[in-house]
């Protein structure tokens, strides 16, 4: 039986770019082996490949300063998402602690409300409208906004 790298085969398969025949030729194994290995497995990275191609096409005519600005914006947004994830994890730990150590109905209600709001913030609660559509509470006409700001070196120097 020919030796092959299953992880490399699957990595190629996940891209959605290759046919069974191409994977067979590329990895030196039979088409039936490729089919058996990949049967029922999603081509989970095909969308990422398409998005990266779109990004390359969209940025091909930009100059260096524009590309650098885009990279900085992406790094900022990625860091912000990381901050939100860490905050969410700590909030959920606190909620679990509060539920475990409290007999108060008010505490339980506060946890439920907090978890509900956190699920909206993280866009995992699909029973609510997307955050872009949540601008105003029509019952009491209040606007809720959360602004996150990461201090930059320039901010600290002021």
Q: Identify the pLDDT of residue 127.
A: 52
Sketch the domain layout of the chain as residue ranges: 1-61, 62-157
Residues 2/27, Cβ–Cβ less than 8 Å: no
Residue 27's nearest CA partner among 38, 43, 42 is 38
Q: Can you tell me which residue has the tokens 């409300």?
A: 113
Please choose, from the candidates 121, 115, 120, the residue with its C-alpha nearest in 3D space to the C-alpha of residue 91.
115
For the chain, the average pLDDT equals 78
pLDDT in tens, 92-107: 788 788 777 877 767 7
Phi/psi at 145 (nearest 5 deg)?
-135, 140
């Amino acid at each position: 039986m020919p030796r092959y790298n299953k992880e490399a085969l699957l990595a190629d398969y996940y891209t959605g770019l290759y046919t069974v025949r191409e994977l067979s030729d590329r990895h030196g194994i039979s088409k039936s082996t490729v089919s058996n290995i990949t049967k029922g497995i999603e081509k989970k990275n095909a969308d990422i490949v398409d998005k990266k191609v779109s990004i390359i096409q969209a940025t091909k005519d930009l100059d260096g300063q524009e590309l650098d600005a885009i990279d900085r914006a992406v790094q900022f947004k990625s860091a912000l998402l990381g901050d939100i994830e860490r905050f969410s994890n700590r909030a959920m730990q606190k909620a679990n602690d509060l539920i475990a150590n409290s007999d108060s109905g008010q505490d339980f209600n506060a946890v439920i409300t907090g978890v509900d709001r956190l699920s909206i913030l993280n866009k995992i609660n699909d029973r609510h409208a997307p955050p872009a559509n949540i601008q105003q509470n029509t019952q009491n006409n209040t606007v809720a906004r959360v602004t996150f700001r990461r201090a930059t070196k320039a901010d600290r120097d002021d």
